Amino acid sequence: MTYLFLAIVSSASISVFMRISRSYVNNEMGLLAINYLICIFCASLYIKDFSISSSSFLGFINGFFYWISFVLFNQSIQRNGLILSSTFQKLGILIPTLITICVFKELNSWIQLLGVFLSILCIFILQSPSEEQNIHSLSLLCLLLIFNGSGDAMAKIFERVGQNENVFLWITFVVAFFLCFLSNKTEITKYEIGFGVLIGIPNYFSAKFLLKSLYTLPALIVYPSYSVFTVFLVSCFGVFIFKEKISKKQFGVLIGFLLSLIFLNVK
């Protein structure tokens, strides 16, 4: 449970630093490139035996998923707006959840499945669009859900067939860095560098701790809890640090999050 908690805190830190960076950073692809460069450095510190195996190929796939999810998210924001795009991005937990149930047969209780769907419903309600917001590109939203969810699922797949998690993460971030670097067309300023460092450190540890938590906890607990409590923690930061007001709907959803966690722990 400690690794899952640290993964959630790291993931929430990414969202907080990304939010602060919007006031200073204009080159998001450059920011992402610096972020992954820092992740590469962090991963290098943990590598003791750099051995390439067949499972290391998963790192190349994962790195592509990291990059394409970001590109699709940015494109979807322009076409569909932030709320719809964020909703479909977070609903990507459907992919690792379905893989866990259908492929790895890890469902222990139907009450756990109820907890999974309750957490997904809470995410959707929390970010439900207003009547003025229309879906302009459903295919783009579906691709965002698929690729972002597939990236999340790679950790579970590697947990089952992988051999060296540090090499896996290193390859993931190297591939993501080069794809971002090649896609970047704008000068990288001191703000991209500064925030890239601030985001890169928790980004690396969120991936590392998420992977480690899958070794000690069932994926049906890890994935929904990781997504749900990242949203919960970011909401707390919004209220207490950024002085945002919480609505009745948001408060009700947070209660739903807590209920989903209870259901997820029933065996």
Closest CA to 156 of 215, 204, 221, 69: 215
Contact in structure between 12 and 173 (CB atoms under 8 Å): no
Q: Cite the DSSP H helix spans in the chain.
A: 2-21, 28-46, 57-80, 82-90, 94-102, 110-126, 138-161, 165-183, 190-216, 219-240, 248-264
Closest CA to 205 of 13, 63, 52: 13
pLDDT for res 45: 93
Instruction: Specify the pTM.
Output: 0.83
Judged against a pLDDT cut of 80, whether residue 83 lies above it is answered with: no
For the ranges 47-61, 98-112, 194-208, the maximum mean pLDDT occurs at 194-208
pLDDT for res 94: 79
- Cβ count near 243 (within 10 Å): 7
Q: Could you give the CA distance from residue 23 to residue 16 in angstroms, rounded to a whole number?
A: 12
- Cβ count near 248 (within 10 Å): 7
Confidence band (pLDDT; 50, 70, 90) for 60?
A: very high
Contact in structure between 94 and 152 (CB atoms under 8 Å): no
Residue 143 to residues 69, 124, 249, Cα–Cα distance (Å): 9, 17, 28
